[in-house]
Amino acid sequence: MNEEQQHRPRSEGRVSSKDISGVLKGWDYEPGALNVRKVAGSDGSPKLQMRIDLGLLQMELTGRPDGHRPHGCESLLDYFETQLADHKKKAGVEVGFHLTPSQCQSLREEASQYYQRYLSLFVLEDFAGVVRDTQRNLRVLDLCAQFADDEQDRLVLEQYRPYITMMNVRARASIFFKQERYAEALAIIEEGLVEIKEFFERFGQDTGFEHSNEVRVLKRFAREIKRKLPVDPLAKLRRKLKRAIKDERYEEAAKLRDQIAELESADIPGAEEDAGI
């Protein structure tokens, strides 16, 4: 062995570089923006990447985002739900099942992974994935609220329920919106608003609904959906009539009243509802 060989690093030429600079090249971090993309993984399955200031987060598209299978289950939540089912089968009741503070902490940490993923999926308009992950995180809230030993663990996640509900509702409504099924999308939004209102009422925060950012987001989406709905001819004429009377254009108002009466007598679908019957 010559002198050059003796002083050459043993890893030279045998270990590939783990520097991720090449992966990030051309994909700059943008403060305030959520930059995500799907890439092909080395195992042949697609991966989800989120650009952060010091690098990136890479997540699996299905299962637990970090790819782990705790206790051989898809997630810790699935493991504890299985434990609960086994307990109920043996005892006949759910009483006696509980979650320790350490277990609740682990569930919260796991839920944070799913939160990062459903945010990324929403940006990519993978709304079915958002629905899946938000529903999953709502199950975490329900499990901890019912079975946590410590009161703090039962309550700490509840502050996020309006937000997770809002994201779930937006994703479900967006699926119908993309299919141009606007009435169904609007119905989902309205149901979600009722659910969030009931949450605030349950905790004695009636005014919280009025000031909720989640409510504002859903109402804004509802207005966007309504603009896509077919215009009701009777409702349109009534709005014109109201403006004509306000502006003292009485001759025009009389003609509009005649048109409204004619449409109502023609038994147009929806006319009775609009007339307040």
CATH assignment of the domain containing 80: 1.25.40
pTM, two decimal places: 0.78
164 and 251 part of one domain: no
155 and 200 part of one domain: yes
Of the candidates 56, 57, 50, the residue with the CA atom closest to the CA atom of residue 34: 50
243 and 179 part of one domain: no
Show the tokens assigned to 26: 């051309």
From CA 23, how far away is CA 237, in angstroms rounded? 59
In-domain check, residue 218: yes
In which band, very low, low, confident or very high, does the pLDDT at 16 lie, cut at 50, 70 and 90? Answer: low
Of the candidates 164, 163, 197, 191, the residue with the CA atom closest to the CA atom of residue 176: 191
Whether the per-residue pLDDT at 91 is higher than 50: the answer is yes
Range with lowest mean pLDDT among 30-44, 165-179, 212-226: 30-44
Distances (CA, A) of 108 to 49, 124, 134: 21, 25, 14
132 and 199 part of one domain: yes
- Which residue spans within 127-177 are E strands per DSSP? none
In-domain check, residue 27: no
175 and 261 part of one domain: no
261 and 180 part of one domain: no
Whether the per-residue pLDDT at 270 is higher than 90: the answer is no
Q: What is the average pLDDT across 152-176?
A: 97
Whether the per-residue pLDDT at 17 is higher than 90: the answer is no
Structural domain for 203, as ranges: 61-226
Q: What is the mean pLDDT of the chain?
A: 89
206 and 104 part of one domain: yes
From CA 144, how far away is CA 187, in angstroms rounded? 30
- In this predicted model, which residue has the larger pLDDT, 88 or 30? 88
Whether the per-residue pLDDT at 120 is higher than 90: the answer is yes
In which band, very low, low, confident or very high, does the pLDDT at 176 lie, cut at 50, 70 and 90? Answer: very high
Q: What is the average pLDDT across 194-218?
A: 94
191 and 258 part of one domain: no
155 and 266 part of one domain: no
What tens digit of pLDDT does each residue of 238-267 get? 888 999 999 999 899 898 888 888 877 775
68 and 136 part of one domain: yes
In-domain check, residue 256: yes
In the chain, how many domains are there? 2
